[in-house]
Structure 1
Amino acid sequence: MTHSLNYGRRQFLQYSAFGAAAALFPELLLANPKSARSSPTPSFKPDVEIEFSAREVFVPILNNGSKTKVQKYFAKLLKGPENTVQSIEDNYLGPTLTLAKGQKVRIYFDNNLSEHSIMHWHGMHVPQKSDGHPMYSIEPGERFVYEYEVLNNAGTSFYHSHAHELTGSQVYFGLAGLLKVTDEEEKALGLPTGEYDLPLVIQDKRFNSHSQLQYVHGMHDRMMGFLGDTILVNGKPNAEFSVKSRAYRFRVLNGSSSRIYKLGWDDGTPLTAIGSALSLLEKPETKPYIMLGPSERFDLWLDFSGRPVGSKLVLYSLPFSGAMPPMFERMHRGRGRQGGMGMMGRMDMMTSDLGQGDKFPIATFNVTEKVSDSPKLPVQLARLKRLTEKDVDNADSPLPIAITERHMRPLVNGRPFSLDEVMEIEKVKLGSIKKIKIYHSHAEHQQHEMSSQSNNHDMEGMGHDSMGGRGSGMGMMDEMGGGMMGGMMMAMAHPIHLHGQQFQVLSRKEGHVNREDYETVRHGFIDVGRKDTVLVMPGEEVEIIKPFQDFKGLFLYHCHNLEHEDLGMMRNFYVY
């Protein structure tokens, strides 16, 4: 795999990032980066030990007899229950891990790629050193050791690469896998298990005529987010499931770089969710459809009871609008109808034929066997402590996460990713519970918004232009930032992911949404349960409550549109 960052620059970025963090926060990091990365802790006694490696291999993906070059995780269980690691043959997806709350886990990661990498345990509440921060990236031939206790309740998570400026490409080429956590409360519910507890990992890809994966094509793909034209489920196209006439638990993960899915049945049957990413729900939630942003997960209760053998249901991504800039959506709808579109036409040709918000099938479910027994949907699921504004210490001055779209570069809080600065609003005391407001800060209002927030939060440096002016090589983009291109970059949907402890959604306010577009998604949000990612539509304001407990350190928050993350739409909270 060839990527734009050369080896020397990657190594410089990796070690300078670690050095910057060590200089700023010496009490959090070991002085020797190599020992911080590769030395097991003698006093840590693991219940589970796994040896992971990442390397390039060829696997069959398309049903045409060819093999596709991918990057793949392999795992070997050294210690622990037999069902801890379940490898998937002839597939680019990493092994499925099953961990239990309270287990102590040690994982060895060997990087056998030709570029630097690191593994992130997405959604897991773990110490900074085991979170997979890009500052810990290891070079080819090196090893990293993770050690953590499973503090999460039962739920569905996943793991993936988090290498600096290579997250999008490495995840796209295969470096990801499902992670399940179980606990005693979940076991007591009698939910579907074994063959009736199945993954449904949805991703979109592009293939060339030789069945090889193609990733971003220029800046346009990066700015709008990569969209593929082939939908894969569990690593395979044209997914079909043979099911019995009973209830199943399907663990759905949006593993795409930037595509949003609006899940719904072809016959209009509602969908029922029993889990939201990091926990079971308190009670089942039934929706006409479910919106699923990149990295979001939901556990679905799919009940085929009463359906005759031979019947078929198709799960679709249903049509919706408003997730992309208006001009971009108009271009997609009008593709092929006009000629001579100049620059805009050339950019349009680079996009996928499968647009954001188009309707397409995801998977087909064929009822192949009639059975008489089936578990009943529980009325009550998990017992969750619901956090309210009474639990936070900043109810009247929420920490801002301002989605910043300007100068053809997506940012958060007006700043690019950096390890040599932490704004005052990013310093959080250990043990505190914070209210956080996520909103869109449009270019034409940005200076006013940032100024107002600065008065409330001492947001030092947020007003500075990180692009460096026209002399920085961004001249054309700067000139166009408030015009055509700047307008295109406004009003995008962003999946905002926060590392560390899980949060709860307090409110979702419509703000300045486009009413017609918003009607196509309004009824699909599930904002209960514990979450690590929330999809924020254009014009929306989402308030969340997030605890910062147990661990000090640097914990990322960023857009999980992976192309945006690699462009610098990412910052750190410093928990001290």
Structure 2
Amino acid sequence: MTHSINYGRRQFLQYSAFGAAAALFPELLLANPTSARRSPTPGFKPDVEIEFSAREVFVPILNNGSKTKVQKYFAKLLKGPENTVQSFEDNYLGPTLNFAKGQKVRIYFDNNLLEHSIMHWHGLHVPQKSDGHPMYSIEPGERFVYEYEVLNNAGTSFYHSHAHNLTGSQVYFGLAGLLKVTDEEEKKLGLPTGEYDLPLVIQDKQFNRNGQLQYVRGMHDRMMGFLGDTILVNGKPNAEFAVKSRAYRFRALNGSTSRIYKLGWDDGTPLTAIGTDVSLLEKPETKPYVMLAPGDRVDLWLDFSGRPVGSKLAMYSLPFSGTMPPMFESMQRMRGGGQGGRGMMGGMGMMSGGLGQGEKFPIAIFHVTEKVGDSPKLPVQLVRRQRLTEKDVDNADNPLPIAITERHMRPLVNGRPFSLDEVMEIEKVKVGSIKKIKIFHPHEEHEMASQTSGHDMEGMDHGGMGGRGGGMGMRDEMGGGMMGGMMMAMAHPIHLHGQQFQVLSRKEGHVDREDYETVRHGFVDSGLKDTVLVMPGEEVEIIKPFQDFKGLYLYHCHNLEHEDLGMMRNFYVH
């Protein structure tokens, strides 16, 4: 689990990049990482104080008597309401945090791992220094202090490691936890609470014969994304819930590093969503199924009223297609599903073991064990939000591009890898502005040029880009051009740090219609989002405010293997 790292060299590079960033953006007043946020800020008076630590421990996962080595967050409440921290015994998941809008929060994070780390508050709108940017990663034995006010409305977020080049492995081995925010508007709705407000954290893992976690077995797992063969819910396999004949609120989080889920009932009953990534919806939405990409959340209203005691209902991830490269999916179909045997494709582990992306498999079983006479009613109206439109943006005719590309075994954003000390002109935005952003897969190189026309794209690497079935010029790394088209056509969950955004439109463009039909009815795009799944050939337009805080805010693929390969960039808010 620990990684062989030259800490002196890594620290030198980190500090050098930090210094370069400070030189480029002096108004950010970036503190030296050796002293950044090591002690509380005078004058900041927190309502909540929590002492966090991360360390390696052994916990039971597989219910076979064995214990599995994991990395785990621990938390101790120093100040604040009693229910702020809800810890789990014998579980690798971090404690659930319960915050209220308007609270001022101070968190002390002690890194007791054997490698560098930092915590990111995924979905929260916080200052740069408290966002968990990898430039603030701390070494073993060091402490980092977060301070922020909870500005979010009621909704479901989560927190996880965001260590540079180690995000995927640290999240996979356990460094993540649920974070809930409430507000006065939510409290008036009478939604299910307490034992009727439950987490549904879904992850896939791979275990060896000794019950230990395995992760990333070659370049294939990095390029395609790691897929395990064991589905865990709330940290346990073969999940079962004993429920009463009434309505529940289940907060579903896709905590996997790359697996996409298509949630649906086995009997075809529709699902009702009441919230998305960071906020309640204006009105409940009923869907035949719900697509849940890595980093995505959806609050589900699951109503078991009228179902007899003893009845069972199974939630599945239903079959879908089109999220993986065509050649990869063809091979999967040829072998009847799954990823195939290890060692195909020239010994690169291109078809390593595990459940294939888009296969059908069970998530959890719900047993109705008790009949009750009362149940909350699903509100017709949840919350009221002023929806942003193109009239609110200052670049309606010239949206900022986020071009998703993969070339030379490197997933890229806007043709560039991650760099702390580089910001292109298209990545510089004024604080207080509201921007229209276009996220797309360039179908051809000339399309990349047309989509980004009007922007200064100096430094962008245009070479070898193609679309679904198009070439990518990978002969240098692969010894031939066969891999080019295969690597390009993947779905990517794009996550933007900082303030939440709204999805303006989805344009099908160059999508495969048959594949797209298997997923299109499961997107819940009407609420506030911080992560959006973009299908191959699809173009998604969003509206994102850049308000309140200056600084460097990441945008990246939340396929964490891709993120660790450099599919990540910064917006510079100034």
- C-alpha root-mean-square deviation of aligned residues, in Å? 2.1
Counterpart-to-counterpart distance in 2, 1:199 and 1:240: 13
Counterpart-to-counterpart distance in 2, 1:360 and 1:372: 33
Q: Which residue of structure 1 lines up, in the alignment, with residue 469 of structure 2?
A: none
Q: Which amino acid aligns with 1:535?
A: L
Q: Which residue of structure 2 lines up, in the alignment, with residue 21 of structure 1?
A: 21
Check conservation: 1:408, 1:485, Cα contact below 8 A: no
User: Within the alignment, does 1:382 sit opposite 2:383 as a pair?
Assistant: yes
Q: Which residue of structure 2 lines up, in the alignment, with residue 200 of structure 1?
A: 200
Q: Which residue of structure 1 lines up, in the alignment, with residue 568 of structure 2?
A: 570
Q: Which amino acid aligns with 1:412?
A: V
Identify if the C-alpha distance between structure 1 residues 76 and 388 changes in structure 2 by more than 3 Å, giving closer, same or farther: same
Q: Which residue of structure 1 lines up, in the alignment, with residue 412 of structure 2?
A: 411
Check conservation: 1:407, 1:481, Cα contact below 8 A: no
Describe the superposition over 1:84-114 as per-residue Cα deviations: whole angstroms up to 9, x where unpaired. 0000110000000000000000000000000
User: Across the two proteins, how many residue pairs are aligned to each other?
Assistant: 567
Describe the superposition over 1:157-202 as per-residue Cα deviations: whole angstroms up to 9, x where unpaired. 0000000000000000000000000000000000000000000000
- Deviation, structure 1 residue 30: 3.7
Check conservation: 2:104, 2:148, Cα contact below 8 A: yes
Q: Which residue of structure 2 lines up, in the alignment, with residue 548 of structure 1?
A: 546
Q: 1:286-297, aligned counterparts within 5 Å?
A: 286-297=286-297
User: Within the alignment, does 1:505 sit opposite 2:506 as a pair?
Assistant: no
Counterpart-to-counterpart distance in 1, 2:561 and 2:389: 34
Q: Per the alignment, in what secondary structure is the counterpart of residue 456 of structure 1? A: coil
Aligned partner (choices 493, 496, 513) of residue 495 of structure 1 = 493
Counterpart-to-counterpart distance in 2, 1:286 and 1:17: 47
- Deviation, structure 1 residue 478: 2.9
Q: Give the percent of matched residue pairs that are identical in Structure 1 and Structure 2.
A: 88
Q: Which amino acid aligns with 1:23?
A: A
- Deviation, structure 1 residue 40: 1.1
- Deviation, structure 1 residue 449: 3.5
- Deviation, structure 1 residue 347: 4.5
Check conservation: 2:431, 2:549, Cα contact below 8 A: yes
Task: Give the alignment's TM-score, normalised by structure 2.
Answer: 0.95
Counterpart-to-counterpart distance in 2, 1:348 and 1:479: 16
Q: Which residue of structure 2 lines up, in the alignment, with residue 514 of structure 1?
A: 512
Aligned partner (choices 478, 483, 490) of residue 481 of structure 2 = 483
Check conservation: 1:481, 1:487, Cα contact below 8 A: no
Check conservation: 1:50, 1:79, Cα contact below 8 A: yes
Q: Which residue of structure 2 lines up, in the alignment, with residue 471 of structure 1?
A: none
- Deviation, structure 1 residue 562: 0.1
Counterpart-to-counterpart distance in 1, 2:87 and 2:181: 17
Counterpart-to-counterpart distance in 1, 2:449 and 2:473: 25
Q: Per the alignment, in what secondary structure is the counterpart of residue 207 of structure 1? A: coil
Check conservation: 1:384, 1:529, Cα contact below 8 A: no
Q: Per the alignment, in what secondary structure is the counterpart of residue 23 of structure 1? A: helix
Q: Per the alignment, in what secondary structure is the counterpart of residue 37 of structure 2? A: helix
- Deviation, structure 1 residue 220: 0.6
Q: Which amino acid aligns with 2:522?
A: G
Q: Which runs of 5+ in 1 are unaligned?
A: 468-473
Describe the superposition over 1:15-51 as per-residue Cα deviations: whole angstroms up to 9, x where unpaired. 2232222121122134433332312111110000000
Check conservation: 1:498, 1:558, Cα contact below 8 A: yes
Q: Which residue of structure 2 lines up, in the alignment, with residue 159 of structure 1?
A: 159
Check conservation: 1:273, 1:301, Cα contact below 8 A: yes
Counterpart-to-counterpart distance in 2, 1:119 and 1:298: 22
Counterpart-to-counterpart distance in 2, 1:7 and 1:33: 14
Q: Which amino acid aligns with 1:575?
A: V
Counterpart-to-counterpart distance in 2, 1:276 and 1:475: 38
- Deviation, structure 1 residue 334: 2.4
Check conservation: 2:279, 2:528, Cα contact below 8 A: yes
Q: Which residue of structure 2 lines up, in the alignment, with residue 360 of structure 1?
A: 361
Check conservation: 1:106, 1:146, Cα contact below 8 A: yes
- The answer to which of 513-522 and 205-214 deviates more is 513-522
User: Within the alignment, does 1:6 sit opposite 2:6 as a pair?
Assistant: yes
Q: Which runs of 5+ in 2 are unaligned?
A: 466-471
Counterpart-to-counterpart distance in 2, 1:298 and 1:341: 35
Counterpart-to-counterpart distance in 2, 1:466 and 1:415: 13
Counterpart-to-counterpart distance in 1, 2:390 and 2:340: 55
Counterpart-to-counterpart distance in 2, 1:340 and 1:253: 30
- Deviation, structure 1 residue 352: 3.0
Check conservation: 2:18, 2:421, Cα contact below 8 A: no
Identify if the C-alpha distance between structure 1 residues 316 and 222 changes in structure 2 by more than 3 Å, giving closer, same or farther: same
Counterpart-to-counterpart distance in 2, 1:405 and 1:205: 25
Q: 1:3-402, aligned counterparts within 5 Å?
A: 3=3, 5-335=5-335, 344=345, 346-347=347-348, 350-402=351-403
Q: Per the alignment, in what secondary structure is the counterpart of residue 438 of structure 2? A: strand
Q: Which amino acid aligns with 2:545?
A: P
Check conservation: 2:475, 2:481, Cα contact below 8 A: no
Q: Which residue of structure 2 lines up, in the alignment, with residue 470 of structure 1?
A: none
Q: 1:467-482, aligned counterparts within 5 Å?
A: 477-478=475-476, 480=478
Q: Per the alignment, in what secondary structure is the counterpart of residue 27 of structure 2? A: coil
Q: Which amino acid aligns with 1:458?
A: D
Check conservation: 1:335, 1:348, Cα contact below 8 A: no
Check conservation: 1:450, 1:462, Cα contact below 8 A: no
- The answer to which of 455-464 and 256-265 deviates more is 455-464
Counterpart-to-counterpart distance in 2, 1:480 and 1:297: 37
Counterpart-to-counterpart distance in 1, 2:501 and 2:196: 29
Describe the superposition over 1:411-442 as per-residue Cα deviations: whole angstroms up to 9, x where unpaired. 00000000121100000001000000000024
- Deviation, structure 1 residue 336: 8.3
- Deviation, structure 1 residue 452: 3.3
- Deviation, structure 1 residue 340: 11
- The answer to which of 433-442 and 498-507 deviates more is 433-442
User: Within the alignment, does 1:438 sit opposite 2:439 as a pair?
Assistant: yes
Check conservation: 1:52, 1:74, Cα contact below 8 A: yes
Counterpart-to-counterpart distance in 2, 1:114 and 1:475: 39
Identify if the C-alpha distance between structure 1 residues 340 and 73 changes in structure 2 by more than 3 Å, giving closer, same or farther: closer
Q: Per the alignment, in what secondary structure is the counterpart of residue 486 of structure 2? A: helix
Counterpart-to-counterpart distance in 2, 1:347 and 1:309: 51
Identify if the C-alpha distance between structure 1 residues 564 and 517 changes in structure 2 by more than 3 Å, giving closer, same or farther: same
Q: Per the alignment, in what secondary structure is the counterpart of residue 37 of structure 1? A: coil
Aligned partner (choices 532, 535, 540) of residue 534 of structure 1 = 532
